[in-house]
Amino acid sequence: MTNPEESEKDMDTVTPSSLASVASGTGKKRSPGTEALGVGLEARGIHAWFEQKHVLSDISLDFWSGTVTALIGPSGCGKSTFIRTLNRMHEFIPGAAMAGQVLLDGKDIYESGTDVTKIRLKVGMVFQKPNPFPSMTIAENVLAGLKLAQLKVENKDDLLEECLERAGLWSEVKDRLSAYGGSLSGGQQQRLCIARSLAVRPQVLLMDEPCSALDPGSTLRIEETISQLSSTMTIIIVTHNMQQAARVSDYTAFFLSDGGPGQMVEVGPTGEIFSRPKDKRTENYVTGRFG
Amino acid sequence: MTTVQSAVVVKPTRPWLAKPSQRLQSVGVFLLALAISYGVVAVTPMKGKLAYAAIFFIAFTALDYLLSYFTLGKSAAKDVVARGFIVSGMVIVTAPILSILVTVLLRGYKGIHASMFTTDMRASSMNDPVASGGLMHALIGTFLMVAIALIISVPLGILTALYLTEIRGRFTKPIAFLVQAMSGVPSIVAGLFILSALIYTVAHAYSGIMGSLALSILMIPTIARTSEEVLLLIPPDLREAGVALGGTQWRTVALVVVPAARSGLVTAMILGIARVAGETAPLLLVAGGSDQNNLNPFHGPMASLPYYVWKAYSFGSIESVRRAWAGILVLLVIVLVLFTAARFLSARKGK
């Protein structure tokens, strides 16, 4: 399909400098000086297995603070598995194994002696299916992270309003904060889950197909939310929706599995991935010729 | 036909309901089946109420099948037969329950009087007129022993269920198997176990607490199994969401999983109570039984409602049998009230 040398090159570790140099070109909404925020999260040579099955091979990727990175690729190429290695949710699946390093603030989150609950506080996650806690009200849902992680906060009401505001839900629920989370619509539930993740003030937010169960209107609201959040945090979003990747992300990484473990074919500024991808396979995928 | 006047007010109709002619057909089938069963019983040597019921069922199903076959077709006819079987299954299952309820009500209400809840039997005999004495001692005994058994069994049962569903340690399978086997243990075995393990060796006397322990042996497996099934229904996403927010596993279970399963866990408790509230045999062995109020579960024999019923019935006189039915009615009402209350409580806040 493509010549091996080219794909070999694409498989190489993407260093911060190489990413920055390509990014300075056509990044969708990059503002000058974003690089000053530095690298938010670095994945180094990530492999993943389920039992004996090798599902992800040698992914190295840097995520810059204040940017949105979209992971695209057909189903089963390991995108979700990859982001679950970034906040140590991968180990929750029986039979899971991994190799490689994930550096948060320069420290490997898999280093022994690391408090995994602290890692998950810093690297929050929004799931594919909205999953508000059914026994809690809207307000309790937003503040659930504080209770779960036993964090103290000066003014809970301010935090509640701030998180719901940032998740774009405040105006819709401010009069019924004591209603149950399950009484909201699917799109509102997902924004509630985003607000819930924000309440523990993560540096990085992982979103695993957050809009796949939502209607276009709710999707739009969540995309607006992502754009607003991206100025202050690192966002990594898995999506099957090409337009969504183009709309919300600064960088895009294309994952693909040729029957074996999933690999990263190409990464670069979103504009370049969609307009002039280097790899033929990326071009075929983003133009809808397969997948 | 095809043009409709726009000014006509459309009335809501239910075209899927049976038309009068169809209803008439159903009534005809019913009457015919009735006639056939009557005729068959009259002619053949099959006799008795059961014969009427069985022949009626067969005749009704066959006629209904034929009617649907000729009016609606084969698949509709099969559907009708399947529905017939399901409805009769429901009737066969609910008829005994209703029969029990009605019998207990009809026979029990004659023995009910206000002072029975405030007096015990220390000054009366079972053969005395129903108005003398009462079952206060039995009520106190049942209440105390079941309450203590509940206090022992709820934490143990729910913790066992949490081990099976949340921790999933190496012993999950053997423990699940044991719990299942334990729930089939005959109640008298639980009584004999407490008798030989605690009363003969340590306590050397009947007491309420021994009764509670025996009841716990029966209650724990019921609560553990029901709780396990309830906890398995909680979607794994919730556990992941809790952990992804920086909660430890224990805090996620305590703050997210258990509250989400609350109404089911309450049901598990009710089933546990229902399992033991009517137990007689183990209490006879380890709590003894008594005719007077005993408020101290740690000392002295203790009565219970099933014991009271058993004792009254064994006297065999008209008055004592009347007492027994009244006792059964009280027990039944208590269990029903508990059931409804717990349902109401768990439905009120949980979703």
Containing structural domain, residue A211: 4-131+203-286
What CA–CA distance (Å, rounded) separates B88 from B77? 17
Residue A89: exposed, middle, or buried by beta-carbon count in 10 A (0-12, 13-18, 19+)? buried
- Indicate the pairing of strand A68-72 with strand A96-104: unpaired
Asked if residue B200 and residue B93 are part of one domain, the reply reads: no
Asked if residue B228 and residue B95 are part of one domain, the reply reads: no
Question: What's the pLDDT score for residue B125?
Answer: 86
Whole-model pTM? 0.78
Q: Is the Cβ–Cβ distance between A222 and B270 less than 8 Å?
A: no
**Whole-Å CA distances, A12 to A41, A204, A266, A279:** 18, 24, 10, 14
Asked if residue B167 and residue B80 are part of one domain, the reply reads: no
**Is A129 in CB contact (< 8 Å) with chain B?**
yes
Asked if residue B79 and residue B178 are part of one domain, the reply reads: no
Residue A17 lies in a domain: yes
Q: Is the Cβ–Cβ distance between B117 and B139 less than 8 Å?
A: yes
Per-residue pLDDT of chain A (291 residues; tens, 9 = 90+): 444 444 443 444 444 333 333 333 333 444 444 444 678 899 999 999 999 999 999 999 999 988 999 999 998 899 999 999 999 999 988 889 999 999 998 899 999 989 999 999 999 999 999 999 998 999 999 999 999 999 988 899 999 999 998 888 999 999 999 999 989 998 899 999 999 999 999 999 999 999 988 888 888 888 998 998 888 899 999 998 888 999 999 999 999 998 889 999 999 999 999 999 999 999 999 888 775
Count of structural domains within chain B: 2
Q: Measured between alpha carbons, how far apart are the two ends of chain B, in Å?
A: 50
Q: Is the Cβ–Cβ distance between A227 and A246 less than 8 Å?
A: no
Residue A183 lies in a domain: no
Asked if residue B273 and residue B177 are part of one domain, the reply reads: yes
Of B235, B237, B247, the CB nearest to A117: B247
Please identify, among B110, B145, B171, the residue that sits at the C-terminal boundary of a domain. B110
- Distance (Å) from the C-alpha of residue A193 to the closest C-alpha of chain B? 9
- Distance (Å) from the C-alpha of residue B176 to the closest C-alpha of chain A? 19
Q: What is the CATH number of the domain that holds A272?
A: 3.40.50.300
Of B79, B55, B71, B67, which Cα lies nearest the Cα of B27? B67
The answer, yes or no, to whether residue B329 has pLDDT greater than 50, is yes
Residue A179 lies in a domain: no
Asked if residue B199 and residue B246 are part of one domain, the reply reads: yes
Say if the Cβ atoms of B246 and A200 lie within 8 Å.
yes
Chain B contacts of A134, Cβ < 8 Å? 238, 260, 351
Say if the Cβ atoms of B255 and A134 lie within 8 Å.
no
Residue B241 lies in a domain: yes
Asked if residue B303 and residue B172 are part of one domain, the reply reads: yes
Asked if residue B291 and residue B144 are part of one domain, the reply reads: yes
Say if the Cβ atoms of A133 and B240 lie within 8 Å.
no
Containing structural domain, residue B174: 136-349
Question: What's the pLDDT score for residue A16?
Answer: 39
The arithmetic mean of pLDDT across residues B301-321, rounded, is 92
- Distance (Å) from the C-alpha of residue A33 to the closest C-alpha of chain B? 31
Question: What's the pLDDT score for residue B3?
Answer: 57
The answer, yes or no, to whether residue B209 has pLDDT greater than 70, is yes
| ipTM (interface predicted TM) | 0.80
Please identify, among B56, B76, B110, the residue that sits at the C-terminal boundary of a domain. B110
**Is B259 in CB contact (< 8 Å) with chain A?**
yes
Q: What is the 3-state secondary structure (H, E, C) of chain B?
A: CCCCCCCCCCCCCCCCCCCHHHHHHHHHHHHHHHHHHHHHHHHCCCCCHHHHHHHHHHHHHHHHHHHHHHHCCHHHHHHHHHHHHHHHHHHHHHHHHHHHHHHHHHHHHHHCCHHHHCCCCCCCCCCCCCCCCCCHHHHHHHHHHHHHHHHHHHHHHHHHHHHHHHHCCCCHHHHHHHHHHHCCCCHHHHHHHHHHHHHHHHHCCCEHHHHHHHHHHHHHHHHHHHHHHHHHHCCHHHHHHHHHCCCCHHHHHHHHHHHHCHHHHHHHHHHHHHHHHCCCHHHHHHCCCCCCCCCCCCCECCCCHHHHHHHHHHHCCHHHHHHHHHHHHHHHHHHHHHHHHHHHHHHHHCC
Say if the Cβ atoms of A133 and B238 lie within 8 Å.
yes
| Phi, psi torsion values for B12, nearest 5 degrees | -70, 130
**Is A179 in CB contact (< 8 Å) with chain B?**
no
Closest CA in chain B for residue A129: B237
Q: Measured between alpha carbons, how far apart are the two ends of chain A, in Å?
A: 16
Asked if residue B199 and residue B52 are part of one domain, the reply reads: no
Of B240, B244, B255, the CB nearest to A147: B255
Asked if residue B224 and residue B165 are part of one domain, the reply reads: yes
Residue B116 lies in a domain: no
Asked if residue B173 and residue B61 are part of one domain, the reply reads: no
Residue B36 lies in a domain: yes
Question: What's the pLDDT score for residue B123?
Answer: 84
Residue A174 lies in a domain: no
Question: What's the pLDDT score for residue B4?
Answer: 55
Q: What is the CATH number of the domain that holds B321?
A: 1.10.3720.10
Candidates B165, B231, B245: best to mutate against A (most CBs of A within 10 A) is: B245
What CA–CA distance (Å, rounded) separates A67 from A47? 24
> Strand order of the sheet with strand A234-238?
A123-126, A204-208, A234-238, A68-72, A251-256, A263-269
Question: What's the pLDDT score for residue A148?
Answer: 93
Asked if residue B151 and residue B206 are part of one domain, the reply reads: yes
Residue B2 lies in a domain: no
Residue B59 lies in a domain: yes
What CA–CA distance (Å, rounded) separates B130 from B115? 10
**Is A181 in CB contact (< 8 Å) with chain B?**
no
Query: Which two three-digit tokens encode residue B196?
Result: 């030989």
Question: What's the pLDDT score for residue B116?
Answer: 87
- Distance (Å) from the C-alpha of residue B251 to the closest C-alpha of chain A? 6
Residue A90 lies in a domain: yes
Count of structural domains within chain A: 1
Residue B226 lies in a domain: yes
Say if the Cβ atoms of B245 and A180 lie within 8 Å.
no
